[in-house]
Structure 1
């Protein structure tokens, strides 16, 4: 069994929350400075610690850095506030000391099974949404916010039965849009949080129905006084495109309506399509807040992010300060945090592998050329217009990323020290003619073609010979060869080469 956090009650400043153990047992960071201070608390190893260790230990430190590194900003504060507001609003209408839980479970689960119109129950919703491009930090922000609360809180010695409160449950949206699978994911998450429960085994039987699992979920939501359910990867519903997305959304809204449990939807921008211009859905899932995160602009916040990241250079020497590293990293990441960190991390690995003492521009270019070239075309499209508007003060290599196989072949040719000016144009043609060959075989074939010496043609000398023959003809026309004596004429023409003795060629 996981160690439970035993409830410590702190009287709320809000009179409406007074005497509600679900709220008074929750910690709350009331100002942005406290939250930023919390975000900055981590176990990241400093540069000074890292450079004293061998390379394989530094690699482990990079993994820890990737897990814990965060730049406190207003975006993650907004996510925290949105979750806290939904959570406390949810608990404000629920007090285990005052309500009869058993009767409420029976009544509410019956209502929950009736997944009909979105507005059949109460009009007030506490649900919220967070959408944004992949890699922009949504999961990091959500995990930071949820980590400020205990996973499970043990309440005892109250004027009710002892119970375990689970403030937040985070699950992933099933890829097939199945409510049964969603319930199963929910049971699995509760088992992880509690440690000794067997809800998945108890409620996921071979021939059970959807209503059986919804019934069990309803009971557990109320039994553990769950405050908010966060559903990640909600774009899976749009990818399914089977019509089941509306049914799943109705299920979420009925959880909110009947049990008072707000739902937070988290996903990529593709997930916004599940609303399909439905004003009712949009209104209900943005009641407690809606955030859409786009790529970060190249501004002061981005510069602080890269500068803070560069404090954790685990290379032997620090990179030169005269290079505009924030601009270089922005060029290759286009404002996506995860991409920038990926470049930073892989650059370390290459430096360790090839005994390079520090970051250089050529090292970063090498990362893109050799390790991140597969998705580079996506970033090339994003920067295509921007690069015309700015004058970059660092070298950028022109690399053609139009085709995966051609890139692989070109990289192998570059490794052989063959200039791109030499093999330019040969790669595509050779690939088209030899589709069955591997990239290495294609490269070897191109190298063979480039290094083999073709036989010299005698076109020029033939032309010269022809000219000489024309001169001879000019001086020795048939008229000049003609004589009175037929035998003498015959002999001259024969010597000139215009008479062939066919007898020699007979079989």
Structure 2
């Protein structure tokens, strides 16, 4: 049974007698079974579907976007984020936090014996990074209210996590304002409104204000999504360094764990500087392999067919869907939904390979031929640590459900290529098959 009821804000419940209220109030870690049950989402299928018109059936198709099939890689991400939050509260207790706030106001440096956690979760667009991050965080309360701890007053709002997007302009001020807005939404404060007078302030002033708020509200984890924006901006005006320096300082001085989420494009930025390599290690997601895990995913979405008749999931259709989607979950669902829409529009009773291709052509989906190195979402196993990604980025070929290319021609034993491939005595082979003529001169 969960320590806290489902909700955004909960009253603190303490475990143990560690002397650290923020660590003692942490929610219990969910088991794999509890987590997968908590994040699964299967919208109901209307009982009167058979009586619905084509227009009504097409109106049901957007519900497919709310399907969320639980998989082991999602629990690996949940485990990573949970441990990152716990690390934050193991590095700073109440006294350290108070001293840190005073140090910020006095302009002195803070000094901790240990560092908070930091890392990154990168993956091919459509693998479900952001959706998984949001569902992982939703399994924990965002705010814990403290009133009393061990018989002493302890009035504060502990913010377990904040989720923001990396600003497209790579601006420290923009990110600072985004963080304040996220904090306001979490605890109902008005920090962003109160900083209207700081609009003309320097980026460093906004950064200091953000650090104070993080320490004051004991923020456990900051997730910065769409971090590849920093790379795109860096290519234009080389402004990524101030933003990353600010985030590194935020981790060092507030002891808040930080995780970056984005596409493999961000790897270019992380590997460019040695100190970022260490701070940005983490899970790298690649699409499904054409295997049993992929087929299990398709089987779970296959009942959501709103056409007049349900098409059976044949090997041919499964392979066609994989080839067109590249094994990317978001593309699988998008193609599945659009194929049904096209079938309903043209009066086809059910989806088939031809309708699937029509949907792909209409959506102009072109999956890449290669993907950045990473761990395929088929390869995660609950109860085991995810395989470590390669140290250096490399390209891996796309894998197909159907083998490509022409079939090898059947050759007889006397063929020269057969002799060459078998590495046999060529002269003897030619004589044996009558290909060699001897010219005798008496």
TM-score, normalised on structure 1?
0.66
Q: Is the 1:47–1:311 contact (alpha carbons within 8 Å) kept by the matching residues of 2?
A: no
Q: Which moved more, 1:179-188 or 1:155-164?
A: 155-164
Q: For residue 10 of structure 1, report the CA deviation from its aligned partner.
A: 4.6
Equivalent residues in 2 for 1:161-310, closer than 5 Å: 161-194=154-187, 196-205=188-197, 206-241=199-234, 242-286=237-281, 290-310=282-302
Equivalent residues in 2 for 1:419-434, closer than 5 Å: none
Where 1:192 maps in the other structure, the secondary structure is helix
Deviation readout 1:256-292 (Å, 9 max, x if unpaired): 1111001101110010111244332111233xxx111
Where 2:223 maps in the other structure, the secondary structure is strand
CA distance in 1, matches of 2:166, 2:227: 6
Find out whether 1:329 has 2:321 as its counterpart.
yes
CA distance in 2, matches of 1:326, 1:387: 8
Deviation readout 1:113-165 (Å, 9 max, x if unpaired): 99xxxxx9867441011111111111122112111111222222342342222
Q: Is the 2:123–2:264 contact (alpha carbons within 8 Å) kept by the matching residues of 1?
A: yes
CA distance in 1, matches of 2:272, 2:97: 38
Which of 94, 105, 123 lines up with 2:101 in the alignment?
Answer: 105
CA distance in 2, matches of 1:71, 1:130: 19
Q: For residue 200 of structure 1, report the CA deviation from its aligned partner.
A: 1.7
Where 1:311 maps in the other structure, the secondary structure is coil
Find out whether 1:44 has 2:43 as its counterpart.
yes
Q: Does the C-alpha gap of structure 1 residues 365 and 249 become closer, same or farther in structure 2, counting only changes over 3 Å?
A: same
Deviation readout 1:233-270 (Å, 9 max, x if unpaired): 11111111233222222211211111100110111001
CA distance in 2, matches of 1:59, 1:151: 37
Q: For residue 90 of structure 1, report the CA deviation from its aligned partner.
A: 0.6
Unaligned runs of 5+ in 1: 115-119, 393-507
Q: For residue 310 of structure 1, report the CA deviation from its aligned partner.
A: 0.5
Q: Is the 1:306–1:325 contact (alpha carbons within 8 Å) kept by the matching residues of 2?
A: no
CA distance in 1, matches of 2:92, 2:200: 34
Residue aligning to 2:353: 361
Q: Does the C-alpha gap of structure 1 residues 250 and 391 become closer, same or farther in structure 2, counting only changes over 3 Å?
A: same
Q: Is the 1:111–1:258 contact (alpha carbons within 8 Å) kept by the matching residues of 2?
A: no
Aligned length: 370
CA distance in 2, matches of 1:236, 1:347: 32
Residue aligning to 1:136: 127
TM-score, normalised on structure 2?
0.75
Q: For residue 66 of structure 1, report the CA deviation from its aligned partner.
A: 1.0
Q: For residue 36 of structure 1, report the CA deviation from its aligned partner.
A: 1.4
Residue aligning to 1:86: 84
Q: Is the 1:238–1:270 contact (alpha carbons within 8 Å) kept by the matching residues of 2?
A: yes
CA distance in 2, matches of 1:162, 1:54: 58
Name the Cα RMSD after superposition.
Answer: 3.0
Residue aligning to 2:62: 63
Q: Is the 1:173–1:236 contact (alpha carbons within 8 Å) kept by the matching residues of 2?
A: yes
CA distance in 1, matches of 2:19, 2:38: 28
CA distance in 1, matches of 2:48, 2:180: 42
Q: Does the C-alpha gap of structure 1 residues 112 and 275 become closer, same or farther in structure 2, counting only changes over 3 Å?
A: farther
CA distance in 2, matches of 1:113, 1:218: 12
Equivalent residues in 2 for 1:447-462, closer than 5 Å: none
Find out whether 1:7 has 2:11 as its counterpart.
yes
CA distance in 2, matches of 1:137, 1:341: 12
Where 2:63 maps in the other structure, the secondary structure is helix
Q: Does the C-alpha gap of structure 1 residues 113 and 285 become closer, same or farther in structure 2, counting only changes over 3 Å?
A: farther
Q: Does the C-alpha gap of structure 1 residues 50 and 263 become closer, same or farther in structure 2, counting only changes over 3 Å?
A: farther
CA distance in 1, matches of 2:33, 2:257: 27
Using CA pairs under 8 Å that are at least 6 residues apart, name the structure with larger relative contact order, 1 or 2.
2
CA distance in 2, matches of 1:277, 1:110: 35
CA distance in 2, matches of 1:226, 1:150: 13
Where 2:148 maps in the other structure, the secondary structure is coil
CA distance in 2, matches of 1:251, 1:58: 50
Task: Name the structure where strand makes up a greater proportion of residues.
Answer: 2
Q: Which moved more, 1:131-140 or 1:344-353?
A: 344-353
Q: Does the C-alpha gap of structure 1 residues 11 and 61 become closer, same or farther in structure 2, counting only changes over 3 Å?
A: farther
Task: Name the structure where helix makes up a greater proportion of residues.
Answer: 1
